[in-house]
Amino acid sequence: MSTPLFKRSAAWIAAQVRAGAVTPTEAVDAGWDGPGAHWEHDVHAVVHTDREARQSGADAASTKGPLAGVPVLVKDNLCTVDYPTTCCSRVLAGWHAPYDATVVARLREAGAVIVGKANMDEFAMGSSTEFSCYGPTRNPWDLSRVSGGSSGGAAAAVAYGLVPVALGSDTGGSVRQPAAFCGVYGLKPTYGRLSRYGLVAFGSSLDQVGVFARHAGDVALVYAALAGHDPYDATSRPDPAPDVSGWDTGVAGLRFGWPANLWAHGVEPALVDALERSAAALERAGAVRVPVELLPGEAAVAAYYLVATAEASSNLARFDGVRYGHRAARAADVKSLYVRSRSEGFGPEVQRRILLGTYALSAGYHDAYYLRAQKARTRFRADYARAFAQCDFLLLPTTPTLPFKVGEKVDDPLAMYLSDVFTIGANLAGIPGLSVPIGVTAEGLPTAVQLLGPEDGEPVLLRAARAIEVNGDAAKLPRTHETEASWPSKR
Ligand code: GLN
C-alpha cells in the first residue's frame, strides 16, 4: 500500500490535484473519513464544521493554485463566511462573520478548501485550550495531556492527520507552543507580514496569524500564499514579503546563536537533549554554533502580561451586548445590560485579563505599569538586535516542559503564563519564530526546539528547519510525518 492521502503533504496533494489525479473532494474526505472519524471523537480539535460547507468548498476550489484542493482548518478567531466565528466564547455564540479574513480569502484564492474552525482558548487567552467554552482539545499523543494553546485545536488536527496544514494566531506563543506539544511545525511570522484583517483582536501590537504543518516545505508554501500587503490592515507592511522558495537550500556557513543561559535551570532534560540534537544536525549541515546571551524570559512574561492585557481590555470593550453577540435577558438599564452581558458571556480567564488590563491603564497606575512595560519591550527588541549582530538565527527551547496534564495548571494562572517564557519575546520584538518538531521521548511525547530570526528572517528559519528535518533523527518524527515519501520533488 502506498502512503495514505491523509499522511501526505499539502505540496503533494496540490500537485496531484493540479495533475487531475486527486479531486479536491477526495483530498478533503481523506482526513474526515480516515483518521478523522475516530481521532476527532477523543481529541476534539474542531468546533464548527459541516459536510455541506466542506463539499461546496471542494466544489468551488480552484484546481490550479499552489494549494489546489488542500484542506485547511482555521482557528475560530479568523472570520469565515461559511462557518460561525465565536473565538470559543459564549459572548459570540452563533455569530457569523459577514466577510472572510484576508488570510482566509487568500487561502481560497490559492485553491485551498476551508474545512472548519479549530478549538482554542477563549479569545486566544491561554496556553492549553482548556479555556474554550466548548471544552478542551486533548493531545493526540497522550489523551490525558493538553494540546497546548491557545491554538490547540489547529495543532492537534495537523498532528493526527485531519488536515495537512492549519492556521492559528500567536500573540505570545499560541502557534509555537501548541506546535511543540503536538509535534508539528508552527510559524509565527514577522509582525505585519500576514494580514490581521478579520482576525478577532486580542493584543493588536502582538497578534500575528501563524501556520501549522507537518513539513518545513508546507510552512513555506502556505507562508508564500498568505504573506503580502493588505490595505485593510493599517499595520500590514507595504514592501514585498521575503521570498521563501529557497527553503531547501541548506544552512552551510550560517551562524546560529546558542543562548545556553536560558536553559541553565528549569528546562526538562528531554528538551535540552532536543536542543543538542538539533545543534548537531545543523552543524552536520555546515552551520556554525555561536554562544550568545539573552535576557531571561521571565521579564518578557511580566512585560507581556501588562501590554497584552491592556490592549485586550480595550479591544474587548466592543462586546457590550448591544452591537454583537450575547445580550443578557431582562436588563433594567444600559449599565446593567453591559455588566450582565459581559459577566455572562466572558469566561474566567478573559474576565481576569480585562480586570488586569483596565487596572494597568488606569490614570494612577499607567506610568508605573503600562509605561514601564513598554520600556521593557524596547529593551527586549534591543537585546535581540544585539544577538542578531552576531548570528543569523537563534536556537532555543519552544517550551520549558513537555505537554502537561489536563487540569494541571488550569487553576494556577502564573504557572500557565510561564509556559510561554521562551515564546513571548518574539511577539514583544515583532520578529519571526518557528517551532520545529525533533522526535519523541521514550514515553512517546513530542519534543521540539524553537528558531528565532531577525525581522523578515523567515527564509533562514525555514532553511534551518529543513536542515534539522533532513539531518536530524527523521525516524523518530511523529507518526503522521512521512517526510520524504510525502514530498513531491522527491518522488
Ligand atoms: N499564552 C499566552 C496568553 O495567554 C499567549 C496566547 C496567545 O499567543 N494568543 O496570553
Summarize pLDDT for 191-204 with one digit per residue, the tens. 999 999 999 999 99
Nearest atom in ligand 1 to 170's CA: 8
Centroid of ligand 1 to alpha carbon of 483 (angstroms): 30
Which protein residue's CA is at the shortest distance from atom 5 of ligand 1? 172
Centroid of ligand 1 to alpha carbon of 174 (angstroms): 5
Centroid of ligand 1 to alpha carbon of 247 (angstroms): 28
pLDDT band at 323 (very low <50, low <70, confident <90, very high): confident
pLDDT band at 471 (very low <50, low <70, confident <90, very high): confident
Which protein residue's CA is at the shortest distance from atom 4 of ligand 1? 126
- Taking 90 as the threshold, does the pLDDT of residue 52 lie above it? yes
- Taking 60 as the threshold, does the pLDDT of residue 311 lie above it? yes
Q: How many residues are listed for the chain in this entry?
A: 491
Nearest atom in ligand 1 to 149's CA: 1
Question: How many Cβ atoms are within 10 Å of 436's Cβ, its own excluded?
Answer: 31
- Relative orientation angle of helices 372-388 and 297-315, to the nearest 10 degrees: 130
Nearest atom in ligand 1 to 424's CA: 5
The pLDDT mean for the chain works out to: 94
Centroid of ligand 1 to alpha carbon of 266 (angstroms): 21
Nearest atom in ligand 1 to 416's CA: 1
d(CA 435, CA 283): 19
- Ligand 1 pocket at CB < 6 A: 124-127, 150, 170-174, 202, 308, 420
Cβ-count burial 396-417 (b if 16+ within 10 Å, e if not) = bbbbbbbbbebebbbeebeebb
Q: Minimal CA–CA distance to 400: which of 80, 77, 127?
A: 127
Question: How many Cβ atoms are within 10 Å of 77's Cβ, its own excluded?
Answer: 32
Q: CA 296, 189, 208, 81 torsion: positive or negative?
A: negative
* pLDDT on residue 129: 98
Q: How far is CA 251 from CA 360, 454, 473, in A?
A: 44, 16, 17
Extract the C-alpha cell encoding 377.
519591550
- Taking 50 as the threshold, does the pLDDT of residue 484 lie above it? no
Domains and CATH numbers, the chain: 5-294+393-471 (3.90.1300.10), 297-376 (no CATH)
Percent of the chain with pLDDT over 90: 88
Q: For 243, how many CA atoms within 13 A lie in the half-sphere containing its CB?
A: 3
Interval 237-253 mean pLDDT: 97
Percent of the chain with pLDDT over 70: 96
Nearest atom in ligand 1 to 125's CA: 4
Nearest atom in ligand 1 to 206's CA: 8
- Taking 60 as the threshold, does the pLDDT of residue 455 lie above it? yes
* pLDDT on residue 490: 37
Centroid of ligand 1 to alpha carbon of 186 (angstroms): 14
Centroid of ligand 1 to alpha carbon of 55 (angstroms): 33
Nearest atom in ligand 1 to 151's CA: 9
Lowest mean pLDDT among 142-151, 366-375, 392-401: 366-375
- Taking 60 as the threshold, does the pLDDT of residue 249 lie above it? yes
Reported as a single tens digit per residue, the pLDDT across 79-109 is 999 999 999 999 999 999 999 999 999 999 9
* pLDDT on residue 491: 30
pLDDT band at 144 (very low <50, low <70, confident <90, very high): very high
Interval 238-245 mean pLDDT: 98
Reported as a single tens digit per residue, the pLDDT across 407-447 is 999 999 999 999 999 999 999 999 999 999 998 898 989 99
Interval 280-307 mean pLDDT: 96
* pLDDT on residue 485: 43
Q: Which are the catalytic amino acids?
A: 75, 150, 174
d(CA 28, CA 23): 9
d(CA 20, CA 15): 9
Interval 153-157 mean pLDDT: 97
* pLDDT on residue 476: 53
d(CA 187, CA 167): 10
- Taking 50 as the threshold, does the pLDDT of residue 487 lie above it? no
Q: Which of 128, 147, 150, 206 to mutate to test the pocket of ligand 1 (most atoms within 8 A of CB)?
A: 150
* pLDDT on residue 381: 97
Whole-model pTM: value is: 0.96
**What type of residue is 354?**
I
Lowest mean pLDDT among 4-8, 92-96, 198-202, 274-278: 4-8
d(CA 14, CA 36): 20
pLDDT band at 477 (very low <50, low <70, confident <90, very high): low
pLDDT band at 34 (very low <50, low <70, confident <90, very high): confident
- Taking 80 as the threshold, does the pLDDT of residue 489 lie above it? no
Which protein residue's CA is at the shortest distance from atom 10 of ligand 1? 125
- Taking 80 as the threshold, does the pLDDT of residue 1 lie above it? no
Centroid of ligand 1 to alpha carbon of 15 (angstroms): 35
Centroid of ligand 1 to alpha carbon of 352 (angstroms): 13
